[in-house]
Amino acid sequence: MPGFVVDRYDAVAVLRTDGDAASARAGDLADALWPELKARGVSSLVHRTGDKGETPRIERIRGSDPPESTVVHEWGIPFVVDIARGQKTGAFLDQRENRRRVGELARGRRVLNLFSYAGGFSLHAALGGATHVTSVDVSAGAHSSAQASFRAAGVNPASHAFVTADVRAFLDGARQRGERWDLIISDPPSYAPSERSVPRALAAYRGLHRACVDVLEPNGLFCAASCSSHVDLVAFFATLDDVALGGRQMVVLECRGSGSDHPTLAAFPEGRYLKFVILADVGSGHASYPRSSS
C-alpha cells in the first residue's frame, strides 16, 4: 500500500507514513491492522514521524509503550535495534536479504562498509568469515549500536574497525594512503528526494562510485546500493559503467532489490526504489565469486 510501511521488531510494530495524506490516515490503518498484529504477538504499535534531518518522534497509537531498543534475530544473527532514535523505523529491513548475501561473499576478504549505520552488513560480513571489516559512518551513535550487535553475536568489536568520518573524506584519505579492500559496500542515504534533484544525485553517485573503486583491490567485489526512488535502475547503471569508474573493468554479477516482504504494485514503480548491484573487477581476470547457497 503506497504511503505506508510497517516494520516489526519482535513485539513492537513501527509505522512510517510518507506524506501528509498518508499521515492523516494513520489512525484508520491502525484500526485495521491492530487485531492482526495482536494475533501475531505484537504488543505495541507506534507511529514514527519526523522529516529527514530531524530527531525522530515516536507516538504510541495502540498497545503498551515500546522499549527504547530491542534485540531481534535476522537469519539467526542477533541485532540491537534502536527503536527510539534509529533511522527509518529503527533499521533498514529492506536490506535483509542483501545483508545475508554480503555474508556469503565475505569469506577470506577484507571488507569496507560505507554509510555503515548500525552495522548490519558489517556483522554479516564478520560472521561470514571476513578477515577484517572496516565500518565508516558519520554517526558515532550508529557505531555504538553496531558494536552492541557485534557483542550480542559473540564477535569482538575490537577485532574490527569503526571509523567516524565523512565517507568521501575517508575514501580520499584511504586512496592517498594506498589502502585497499577486497569487498566494498556503499549504501548511502537517498541522494534524490525529488525529481528535480536527480541530475545532482547522479553526479554524486558517479563521484562516490569512482572513489570506491579507487580503493578496490584487483579482482575485488563492489556492492553499490541506491534507495532513491527517483533514480531508476537504468540511470543507476549509468553511474557504474566504465566511463563513470574511470576505465575500471567491472561486470554486473547480480542486481537485487528488497525482499519478498516488501511487495509492490505493478503500477507503482516508485515502490521498487531499492537497487543493490554486485559488480566484480575483471581487469586482472575473473574474480573468485561464491554462488548463493540458497
pLDDT at 288: 61
What is the spatial distance between Cα 249 and Cα 238, in angstroms, rounded to a whole number?
14
What is the spatial distance between Cα 30 and Cα 28, in angstroms, rounded to a whole number?
5
Model confidence at 87: pLDDT above 70: yes
Model confidence at 277: pLDDT above 50: yes
Return mean pLDDT, the chain.
Answer: 92
Instruction: Place 20 in a pLDDT band, splitting at 50, 70 and 90.
Output: confident
pLDDT tens digits for 219-276?
A: 999 999 999 989 999 999 999 999 999 999 999 999 999 988 888 889 988 889 999 9
Q: Which amino acid is at 29?
A: L
Q: Which residues of 84-102 are buried (b: 16+ CB within 10 A; e: fewer)?
A: bebbbbbbbbbbbbbbbbb
Instruction: Place 289 in a pLDDT band, splitting at 50, 70 and 90.
Output: low
pLDDT tens digits for 25-74?
A: 999 999 999 999 999 999 999 998 865 556 678 899 999 999 999 999 99
What is the spatial distance between Cα 58 and Cα 270, in angstroms, rounded to a whole number?
26
- pTM over 0.85, yes/no: yes
Q: Which domains does the chain have, with CATH numbers?
A: 4-67 (3.30.750.80), 91-281 (3.40.50.150)
What residues contact residue 24 under an 8 Å CB cut-off, 6+ apart?
A: none
pLDDT at 172: 97
Return the active site residues.
227
pLDDT at 294: 47
Instruction: Place 283 in a pLDDT band, splitting at 50, 70 and 90.
Output: confident
pLDDT at 285: 59
